Amino acid sequence: MKLWGTRFTKKTDREVEAFTSSISFDKKLYRYDIRGSIAHAKMLSKCGLISREEASKITEGLEEIGLEIQEGRLEFKEELEDIHTHIEARLREKIGDAAGKLHTARSRNDQVALDTRLYLRDEVKEIIGLVIKMQKAIVGVAQENIEAIMPGFTHLQPAEPVLFSHYLMAYFWMLQRDRERFKEGMARINVMPLGAGALAGTSLPIDREYAAGELNFPGVTENSIDTVSDRDYIIEFTSAASILMMHLSRLSEELILFANPAFGFLEVDETFCTGSSLMPQKKNLDVAELVRGKTGRIYGHLIGLLTMMKALPLSYNRDMQEDKEPLFDTVTTVKESLNLFAKMIGTLRIDKERMLSQAFIGSMWATELANYLVRKGLPFREAHQIVGQIVACEDKEITLALLKKHSGEFDCDALSFLDPEEVVKAKVSYGSTSLDQVREQIKKAKEIVDEE
């Protein structure tokens, strides 16, 4: 009989069983369901609601079931609906009537909230570790190529020369914000929901704080209705994951562009590329392309979760079963993407000569020439206009005579800013692309990752 079947006189339609069953995906939560159930049994015993002997039998039985599932020896059935029911049914087979006492003072509503919080707490810690792994890879490549100069772009048009290390470190700081978002979200994940019951709590004398301590939660949820109807922590996680994937997608796009011979700035190792079944010469950055593509899928999960929750009345509704597949897929996708990207970044080979040669194209000296005139006392708008006129003459050789034709403030030292290295060297503002500033940036980045 189903856990809820007492008041029913008819069997559930087989197609309804298949449609409503979640065991095909929520079996992933078995470790957390067992861990939570053991803590619940200890709490029930401590509060005198079950005996020590019953708690011991329940705990032993649950541990044996965990091993059975781990080894693939437990058969999953659609009619048993979910992982909670499977474990309880198997526990009854193993220890008899004592198994029926495990569900005292809890509902599957607070039980699944506990399972997903325990699951997500572990996964977020792992994801943060993978973000750090990628940050370290970025720092390593930036330091190895710290003096390489490349064209910087706005609107994907030539703008100003920058250090390649400065460009790459931009992604370090994006990932740092991602880390912070995941860490801040952890505070809202790491709250113990067990004891909320179906929605109203319980009249039985339980000790929620004791159960929280058993499960290493620093606190318990404050409102039983909110507890079982809350999926904010999953939505917040998926939002943070979406932003992280957006960052990886932007980097993917640039790696694809910069590896194209039209740019020729870098090469990705063959172990992260594939070829063409038709064109023998092809070397495609499929890892980067798939990360770029999977980003859209994670966005879809976020929108799906928000849409699922947007008009649900309090408290629990079965709609909320639809949170798990997008959550599990988001976790898997983020972990795989970060792991592969960290490895791939470490294989980059930079063509410093090619990048430098491209930094001479497109009048990328223009801004620094305008700043030169500003240092001579001209208003920036006037300096901007003068240099704009010089840019219009770029089909001619830029000589001191040409510069003086447009402004008598130019001296021979202005010609040095036609060299991308001098343009980069001239930057002095904090966080800019000069070598000294990038060295400071890398030093700070190392301190950040070493703190973990």
What is the distance, to the nearest Å, from the Cα of residue 143 to the centroid of all Cα atoms in its chain? Answer: 25
The residue whose two tokens read 């890398």 is 442
For the chain, what's the residue count?
452
The set of residues, in sequence order, having a beta carbon less than 8 Å from that of 271 and lying 6+ positions away, is: 347
**166 included as an active-site residue:** no
3-state secondary structure of 150: strand
- Rounded-to-integer distance, Cα 272 and Cα 255, Å: 12
Going by C-alpha positions, the residue among 138, 136, 20, 148 that lies closest to residue 85 is 20
**357 included as an active-site residue:** no
Going by C-alpha positions, the residue among 224, 91, 178, 160 that lies closest to residue 362 is 160
Query: Is 43 within 8 Å of 210 (Cβ atoms)?
Result: yes
Considering the candidates 224, 276, 315, 406, report the single residue annotated as catalytic. 276
* Packing angle, helices 108-144 and 30-46, rounded to 10: 130
Going by C-alpha positions, the residue among 127, 140, 130, 164 that lies closest to residue 446 is 140
* DSSP tag of 9: -
257-262: Cβ within 8 A, 24+ apart:
259/285
Which secondary-structure segment (H or E) carries 20?
helix 14-20
Which secondary-structure segment (H or E) carries 160?
strand 157-163
CA dihedral 246, 252, 255, 257 (to 10 degrees): -90
CA dihedral 287, 291, 297, 300 (to 10 degrees): -170
Considering the candidates 24, 40, 51, 155, report the single residue annotated as catalytic. 155
Which secondary-structure segment (H or E) carries 163?
strand 157-163
- Rounded-to-integer distance, Cα 17 and Cα 81, Å: 7
Residues catalogued as catalytic: 155, 276
